[in-house]
Structure 1
Amino acid sequence: MNDQMIYRVLGSDEWAKAVALGEYKGAPHDIADGFIHFSTRDTLAATLALHYAGRDHLKLLHVPVAPLAAHIKWEPARGGTLFPHLYATLKVQDVFRVDDVRLGEDGVHILPDDVG
C-alpha cells in the first residue's frame, strides 16, 4: 500500500498518557493482538462508527507511513479491506498532527475537513 498517512483514534486521556511517556503502546485490544490498529482515510469513518460510537472528546492522530514502513503490515480485516497494523510502539515524535474529534448532534463524529 502506498497511503502516505494513516490514522489512529484514541481517547483524550490515552493521548495525554502517551505524551507524558513519549510513546503509545496501544489500547488493551492492540496489546492482545500484538500490534496497534490504524485506519486509512477511507476506513476512518467506519472505524469511528464501529468502535467509538457515542464516545466524545477523542483524538485523531495523523501518522506518516514512510518513517514507520518497516514496522507496518497491511492486513485484511472487514470484508478483505486492508488495514495498516503497526508492529512497534508508536513514538509521540512520529505523530505528525493531532486533531480533536467531537460528536455531532446527530451522534456522528465530526472529522477535520481535510480528512473526512
Structure 2
Amino acid sequence: MLIYKIFRADEWAALERDGQSAGAPVDLADGFVHFSTAAQAAETAAKHFAGAEGLVLLACEADTMGAALKWEVSRGGALFPHLYRELRLSDVVWSRPLPLEGGAHQFPQEMT
C-alpha cells in the first residue's frame, strides 16, 4: 500500500542529497514522520499547506517500513500512518510536483 508525504522543495532536496530525513519541522516536533493515505492526502494539503507552492508529493511503500510504521488515531478519529524512524530515500517509490491551481493542490493520476 502506498502512503504519501508532502514535502517543501527544500525538504525534498535535503532528502535527495542526504539519503535520509527526520522530516519537516512538524515531524521533528512530534517525534515521527507524518504520512497520509491517498484518501487523506488532499485534506492534509488543504489543512497544513494551504496556498503553498513548490511542494513535492512522495509515495512510499508502507509494507516495507516494518514495525517502525504505526497507524495511529489523528484528525477526525481517522488512522494515519506515522513513521518512527528517519525517512530514507530508498523508501520513496516515486515523487511528483504538487502544483497549486485555483487555490487547490492538484494530485497526480497515480493516486486515483
**TM-score band w.r.t. shorter chain:** over 0.9
- TM-score with structure 2 setting the length: 0.96
| Equivalence for 1:98 | 95
- Which amino acid counterpart does residue 103 of structure 2 have in structure 1? G
| Equivalence for 1:74 | 71
Q: Distance in 2 between matches of 1:43 and 1:91?
A: 22
Structure 1 vs Structure 2 CA RMSD: 0.9
Q: Distance in 1 between matches of 2:17 and 2:10?
A: 11
| Equivalence for 2:31 | 34
| Equivalence for 1:56 | 53
Structure 1 residue runs without a partner (length 5+): none
1:59 offset after TM fit, Å? 0.4
Deviations 1:13-64 (A, max 9, x none): 1100111111111112111111000000010000000000000111000000
1:114 offset after TM fit, Å? 2.3
1:67 offset after TM fit, Å? 1.1
| Equivalence for 1:111 | 107
| More helix, by proportion | 2
- Which amino acid counterpart does residue 110 of structure 1 have in structure 2? Q
Structure 2 residue runs without a partner (length 5+): none
- Which amino acid counterpart does residue 25 of structure 2 have in structure 1? P
Q: Distance in 2 between matches of 1:17 and 1:114?
A: 24
Which stretches of structure 1, 4 residues or more, deviate above 4 A after TM superposition? none
| Equivalence for 1:17 | 14
In structure 2, the residue corresponding to 1:88 is in which secondary structure? coil
Q: Distance in 2 between matches of 1:47 and 1:36?
A: 14
